[in-house]
Amino acid sequence: MKKILSTLALSALCSLPSLAANEATVTLLPSEESPIIVKEIYGQFAEHLGTCIYGGLWVGPDSPIPNTNGYRNDVLNALKELHVPVLRWPGGCFADEYHWMDGIGPKQNRPRMVNNNWGGTVEDNSFGTHDFFDLCEMLGCEPYLSGNVGSGSVEELAKWVEYITAEDGPMATLRKQNGREKPWHLKYLGVGNESWGCGGNFTPEYYSDVYRRYQTYCRNYNGNHLYKIASGASDYDYNWTDVMMRNAGRFMDGISLHYYTVLGWNGSKGSAINFNESDYYWALGKCLEVGDVVKRHCEIMDKYDPKKRVGLLVDEWGTWFDEEPGTVPGHLFQQNSLRDAMVAALSLNTFHTFTDRVKMTNIAQIANVLQSMVLTRGDQMVLTPTYYVFKMYVPHQDAKLVPLNVATPMIATRDGRKVPVVSATASAKNGKTTISLVNTDLKNEAEITINLSGISAKNISGEILTAASMNDYNDFGQPEKVTLKPFNKGYQVKGGKLTVTLPAKSIVTLSLQ
């Protein structure tokens, strides 16, 4: 199995100059040993940042915007279509300045604070623990808490876990007084966030000791079993992972990794919608490099944990461009174009190849921030191109990976990276095989031959996501330029092979039965 996955991971990076331009071959390699694509790879992230929470998810029960107990109906209904498996909260950098007791009890009595990380805006704590867990119950997803290690105490984090999960005791009594009789289920607990940076500027040696101490006092109450996650590295910081696994690996269930498709952290990050072809291919090459980064971190983890007990969680990923002109500085509101959809599809295809170690990913963020699923303005909501990729990929959740090889031409980017013209992923579940295909070429169709290897294709249906321009996006008050449409032509089956013609700059998902 390891050999199969290795072949799959490398195939998208190998140039095959013997192929004619715009022709590609995908060979399915079904195996009983294939892992499951855990649904948590489709996780989401909601931080107290800009209008992600306030205005994006939550408007309050007295709002004229249609809502259910304060949660926007339009956003709730849209997110339910994605089958969101897990939601991370309250940050991000905000987590290590968040004191959970400020967000419980009567809303009118809750203290206000300044959100120093994101724009210096005032946070009134009207959305707190009860509101988050109620939201997760409404969406049917697992909550993932990021605990405050940077400015919080061991006692504070321990009591938060007790408040949420204990049947009895002082914290359970307080929870009941605040209106929740039964404890909530809490599986995922992050012990700090970006502890190398905004979460405390720790060294890995120091944080590994701090992690060991904090996690000790996060107890399992009444049958609730915590999956404890250490704050992991930023992209290429392999030393952080090495030190953490060596010093604290046996005390963790998972370790995080953050990877953004971003030009850099100083100066302009470029526009989310005003970009040229060079910028387009650069972004695709940068996002695909997450495969190399994950592979390297996995190799380090394998050294200390060859049985792969500890999961790698890419709990922040996505595009990061300049804020849209005229928006509030520090709120990270960015538009979302067809390019973002391409980044989402290529990233998810890559994550599928590491399901033996990668147990969760969380795109940043769910609403109005960075590469979001939805954008809101007042009572209006827009579904982004990225939203539609997540909707197309729902069938892959908890499906068995179908390993594959891709033989494809490559496109060189301005910094020497290479982007495959065709990327693919496949899975099987309940008698149905789902194949997702991406044609990254901006100008040319891709003729793809898929060797089915005995997989039945008597009935085929499909969806396509594309647009007239790579810069197209969906905005308020205008028809959607980037949206899902049926894909019911351009493919045929003959002699155990499925041939597909993929339009330029398109993403297609086919269902085979």
Active site residues: 194, 316
- The type of residue at 496 is G
DSSP letter for each residue of 272-288: SSS--HHHHHHHHHHHH
Alpha helices in 30-95 (DSSP H): 73-80
Six-digit token pair at 193? Answer: 């966030």
Which of 247, 192, 241 has its CA nearest to residue 218? 192
Please list, residue by residue across 284-300, b when 16 or more beta carbons sit within 10 angstroms of its beta carbon and e when fewer do: bbbbbbbbebbbebbeb
Round to whole Å and give the CA distance between 190 and 142. Answer: 13
Whole-number Cα distances in Å, 118 to 209, 362, 369, 371: 29, 20, 11, 16
DSSP letter for each residue of 292-331: HHHHHHHHHHHHH-TT--SEEEEEEEEE--PPPTTSPTTS
Q: Under a CB-based contact definition with an 8 Å cutoff, are residues 240 and 247 in contact?
A: no
Round to whole Å and give the CA distance between 451 and 502. Answer: 16
Q: Under a CB-based contact definition with an 8 Å cutoff, are residues 469 and 47 in contact?
A: no
Three-state DSSP at 497 gives: strand
Greatest alpha-carbon pair distance for the chain in Å reads 71
Round to whole Å and give the CA distance between 62 and 484. Answer: 34
Sequence-distant (≥ 6) Cβ neighbours of residue 453 within 8 angstroms: 27, 28, 29, 30, 496
Whole-number Cα distances in Å, 507 to 14, 305, 357, 424: 21, 36, 26, 10
Three-state DSSP at 30 gives: coil
